[in-house]
Structures are given as C-alpha cells and as structure tokens.
Amino acid sequence: MSEQERRSANMSAAGSPHRYGRIMAALRADILGGALQPGDGLPSERALEERFGVSRITVRRALEELAQERLIERRQGRRTVVLGPAPPRLVGTVAGGHTDMLQLGRVTEARVRTFEWRIASAGLAEKLDLAEGDQVLYVARVRFRDGAPVFHTEAWLPRAVGLLIDRSMLERTPILDLMMEGGVEVASSRQIMSAAPCPDWLAPLLDIAVGDPVFRLDRTVRDGADRPVQFLVSMFRWDRFSYQIEALHSPPGVSPATAALRARHSGLVAIGALDDR
C-alpha cells in the first residue's frame, strides 16, 4: 500500500475533518468558555461517541488534536483532563538588550528558590573575569504569569555586586533594577539563544515533562567599563514565550561596518555552556 493510500485509509477510519472538527469545536468552546475548568475530567470516549454520534476512532482523533493544542492532557490508563487555555505568550526582542529582560521581570511574578554565596568554578570565573575560587552570589528563581510558570532564571553576580542585593526584594524587583539602584551602571549585554530538552531538575518547576523543548537564553551583562556584572541563564517554556529578532539593515550613508558595530550590542554572541548549579 502506498503512503497516499495509507493516509486515505486513516482519514476514512477517523471520519471526515468535519466530524472530528465538530467534536473539537464543541470541547474547545467548553474549555475556553469556562464550562470545563483546568483539572476537570473530560467525558469518557463512549460518552462522546454517543453525544456526537461518531465512531471511537473519530473521538480519539479529536482528542489527539486538542492534546496537540495543549488544551487537554491524555494519559495512558487514566482519565483525560483539561489543561485550560494557555496563558498569553511573553514576547522578548533581541534588540531590546538588557532593558528587554527588565521588562520581562516587571510583568512576571518571581519566587526565589536559592539565594546563597558560592565559590566560582573555572568556567564561571572566566565568564565574570574573576579568579577561580572567588565568591559569587547565586540566585535562582521561577517566574510566573497569571499563576502559571513561564521561565526559570539562574544569576551569578561578582561579590561586589552581590552585596547590593537584598533577598527580601527579589520577589518583587528584578535583579538589574536592584543593581542600578545600588549604583551599578548597566551598559550592555551579550547573549546566546538555543533550544534544549528540559532536564529532569527543571521539569517540575516549569510543570512540563522531562525532555520537552525549552528555550535557553545565556546573557552576560557588563557595566560602563566593560566589566561583567552578571551572568544569567534563563530557561523558558516553549509554549509560553516567543523571541522576536529585529533585523538591522544599513541605512543610506551608513557603511555595513558601522551598522554591524551598532548591532553588536543586540546581536548573538556565543558565550559557551555552564553547569555551575
């Protein structure tokens, strides 16, 4: 049997798109309209068959599509439950630089997981222009929006900067704001963005499965003297965050070299991996 024939057979078994689409539309309306709340169980497949007058395979196709939209969660041997509508995605921009991270911090709620002094490893010392063994402040937080986890951050600060940070302020004030209030000149940032599978320690914090995709952003923040004052690793849920890249084109009368220099502070600069957890 050819691939096209197999697809046609599968489509025939599941019923027409109109049939399973009708089930999807009805259940989606119940979820988005609040008739079904997050955590509620869906009617059984048999009950849905009877309600819509369709076959079991058509019901399953509709449920699979709703699961892809992350409106429901299907678990083997357990009842299908409602996840609810996804929170609006946060949107960051490359051109926003460190001010963009400030904005993300100001529109989310932070919960501090770790606040402690640590000894800089060789890799971390290189990133912060420190000597191996120097003290650094380590801060780990989970950020929420509308009660749902969106991203996890880990920040490492040189001792002189870390002494400016009050733990009691970290759940309502971004670290960069506290740094600037303490007299640190936040002048530039360099970053690398990548995709990665969610590690096992992070999955329960972001309420996703181990191995689900996450968006990783590594950022080094520098002061006016070009000294590193913060190294930050942020890990975002794939379905609750988008990153917008603004392309820079050289205007008339501006050389490509000059345009590239201007873009340097908002471009992507690889700074390597770090596992100093």
CA dist 112 → 5, 47, 168 (Å): 55, 45, 9
The per-residue pLDDT for 192 is 87
Helix axes 56-68, 45-52, angle to 10 degrees: 110
Q: What is the CATH class of 90-266?
A: alpha beta
Q: Which of the four CATH numbers 3.90.1300.10, 1.10.150.130, 1.10.10.10, 3.40.50.720 does domain 3-82 have? A: 1.10.10.10
* Nearest of 218, 199, 219, 226 to residue 210 by alpha carbon: 199
Domain boundaries, given as residue ranges, for the chain: 3-82, 90-266
Q: What is the pLDDT of residue 255?
A: 56
Highest mean pLDDT among 112-116, 178-182, 195-199, 254-258: 112-116
Query: Average pLDDT, whole number, for the chain?
Result: 79
Closest to 176 measured CA to CA, from 103, 85, 70: 103
Pairing of strands 81-82, 188-197: unpaired
Task: Give the tens place of pLDDT for each residue, 56-107.
Answer: 999 999 898 888 877 888 877 778 888 866 665 544 444 444 555 555 656 7
What is the Cα–Cα distance from 264 to 259, expressed in whole angstroms? Answer: 9
What is the per-residue pLDDT across 229-254, written as a single tens digit (0 to 9) for each?
999 999 999 887 776 655 555 556 65
Band of residue 263 on the pLDDT scale cut at 50, 70, 90: very low
The CA distance from 80 to 90, in Å, is 28
- Report CA torsion sign: 142, 238, 200, 134: negative
> Is 90-266 the same fold as 3-82?
no
Residue 158 in this model has a pLDDT that exceeds 70:
yes
Cβ-Cβ contacts under 8 Å for 220 (sequence gap 6 or more): 127, 189, 190, 191, 228, 230, 231, 232, 271
